Structure 1
Amino acid sequence: MSYQHILVAVDLTEESKALVSKAVGLAKALDAKVSFIHIDVSYAELYTGLIDINLAETQHQAMEASKEAMKHLVEFADYPIHKTLVSSGDLSNELTEAIENLDVNLVVCGHHQDFWSKLLSSTRQVINTCPIDVLVVPFKD
């Protein structure tokens, strides 16, 4: 099977550039489209008690910062990027929805090989719920 559309799940850290490079190299070889997705934490879902901050404003500021960081990744890619998505909410739901809406057939994500990632890994969640192929790029820590 040849991949026609690659979705790169980025966390907007410096390691995201390694994912972009890997995905773009593959896309060039396959003449495939590339899209980026970043899913922010939804603060409202994490905290259920009373808190004296404006969650909507905090969420808005986080989304704006994420969009700006995404622009830098698009420039770094040096390849036509089909779509960039910045979302918030449940990782599995948001990723599955993007896969369906964009007709993606490969997800590229990273995985830190450190102590904490053995316990708390979003990559494991992606692997367990993703309906398509997943390329996991290891990050040595």
Structure 2
Amino acid sequence: MTYKHILVTVDLSEESRILIDKASALAKALDARLSFIHIDVNYAELYTGLIDVNLNETRHFSMENSRKHLQELSEYADYPVSHTLVGSGDLGHEICETISEFEIDLVVCGHHQDFWSKLLSSTKMLINCSPVDMLVIPLKED
């Protein structure tokens, strides 16, 4: 099967470069389009107690910061990047909407192999809901 549009899910850490290197090489070999996505955590849904912050201002700052980091990762890539996307909310829902809207046929994501990732893995969530093929790249702890 030849993939036409590869979506790389990044968490904006240095380890994202590992995913970008592999996805860029694959996209180059297949002459496929390459896009990046980062989903910001929806802070309002994580905390149910009283907090004294302006969530809209915090969310705006977080989204702008994410866009800046994605742009840097896009410039780092050794292949043209079609789209850099930032979303917020439920990871599975946002990724699945993006897959449909941008005609993605391969999702590349990383998986940390530590204790907490075995309990709280966002990759597992994606595997359970993704309608397209996935390439899961292990991100080993040093």
Give the TM-score normalised by the residue count of structure 1.
0.97
Find the counterpart in structure 2 of residue 12 from structure 1. 12
Find the counterpart in structure 1 of residue 130 from structure 2. 130
Which runs of 5 or more structure 2 residues have no equivalent in the other structure? none
CA–CA distance in 2 between the matches of 1:95 and 1:33? Answer: 17
Tell me the amino acid that sits aligned with residue 133 of structure 2: D
CA–CA distance in 1 between the matches of 2:56 and 2:45? Answer: 12
Find the counterpart in structure 1 of residue 97 from structure 2. 97
Moved more, 102-111 or 75-84: 75-84
SS at match of 2:131: coil
CA–CA distance in 2 between the matches of 1:104 and 1:111? Answer: 20
Deviation by residue 1:33-78 (Cα, 9 ceiling, x = unmatched): 0000000001122223322111111111111110110011001003
Moved more, 125-134 or 42-51: 42-51
Find the counterpart in structure 1 of residue 115 from structure 2. 115
Report the number of matched residues: 141
Task: Please say if residues 21 and 78 of structure 2, whose CA atoms lie closer than 8 Å, have aligned partners that are also in contact.
Answer: no
Task: Please say if residues 110 and 136 of structure 2, whose CA atoms lie closer than 8 Å, have aligned partners that are also in contact.
Answer: yes
SS at match of 1:81: coil
Deviation by residue 1:4-60 (Cα, 9 ceiling, x = unmatched): 000000000000000000000000110000000000001122223322111111111
Q: How does 1:28-43 map onto structure 2 within 5 Å?
A: 28-43=28-43
RMSD: 0.8
CA–CA distance in 1 between the matches of 2:134 and 2:54? Answer: 37
Task: Please say if residues 7 and 35 of structure 2, whose CA atoms lie closer than 8 Å, have aligned partners that are also in contact.
Answer: yes
Moved more, 95-104 or 43-52: 43-52
Deviation by residue 1:67-118 (Cα, 9 ceiling, x = unmatched): 1100110010031111110010000110000000000000000000111111
Find the counterpart in structure 2 of residue 79 from structure 1. 79
Find the counterpart in structure 2 of residue 88 from structure 1. 88
CA–CA distance in 2 between the matches of 1:85 and 1:140? Answer: 26
Q: Following TM superposition, where does structure 1 have runs of at least 4 consecutive aligned residues deviating by more than 3 angstroms?
A: none
